[in-house]
Amino acid sequence: MSEAGSAIEAVYRAEAPRVLATLIRLLGGFDRAEEALHDAWLAALASWPEKGVPANPRAWLVSAGRFKAIDRIRREARFNAASEQLVQQIELASEPEEADDAPAIADDQLRLIFTCCHPALAPDAQVALTLREVCGLTTEEIAAAYLAKPVTIAQRIVRAKGKIRDARIPYAVPEPAELPERIESVLQVIYLVFNEGYLASSGSRALRTDLCVEAIRLARLLATLINEPEVKGLLALMLLQDARRAARVVDGEIVPLDEQDRGLWNSGQIAEGQALVREVLGGHFSLYSVQAAIAACHGVDGSDWPRIVGFYDMLLRIDPSPIVALNRAVAIAMRDGPAVGLRLVDALADGLTDYRLWHAARADLLRRLGRRQEAREAYDAALALTIQAAERRFLERRLSEV
pLDDT of residue 81 exceeding 60, the answer is no
Q: Quick check: 98 pLDDT over 60?
A: no
More confident residue, 148 or 86: 148
**CB-based contacts of 108: which residues, under 8 Å, 6+ apart?**
18, 21, 22, 24, 25
Give 165-186 pLDDT, tens digit per residue. 999 898 888 887 887 778 888 9
For residue 23, which phi and psi values (nearest 5 degrees)?
Answer: -65, -35
**CA gap 369, 243 in Å, rounded:** 31
Mean pLDDT of the chain: 87
pLDDT at residue 311, rounded to an integer: 96
- Closest by CA to 183, choosing from 222, 216, 213, is 222
Sequence letter at residue 293: A
Per-residue pLDDT tens for 2-56?
Answer: 666 677 788 887 788 889 989 998 888 888 888 999 999 999 888 888 888 888 8
- The rounded percent of the chain whose pLDDT value lies above 90 is 46
Q: Which of 116-125, 221-230, 353-362 has the lowest mean pLDDT?
A: 221-230
Give the residue-averaged pLDDT of 358-362. 97
The answer to whether residue 79 scores a pLDDT higher than 60 is no
Question: For residues 140 and 363, which has the higher predicted lDDT (pLDDT)?
Answer: 363
Q: How far apart are CA 376 and CA 362, in angstroms?
A: 10
- Environment class of residue 235 by beta-carbon count within 10 Å: exposed (0-12), middle (13-18) or buried (19+)? buried
pLDDT recorded at residue 156: 94
Average of per-residue pLDDT across 70-94 = 62
pLDDT of residue 225: 73
Q: Which of 105-109, 115-119, 329-333 has the highest mean pLDDT?
A: 329-333
CB-hemisphere CA count at 13 Å for 85? 3
Q: Say what the pLDDT of residue 99 is.
A: 44
In this prediction, residues 240-267 reach a mean pLDDT of 94
Q: Is the pTM value of this prediction over 0.85?
A: no
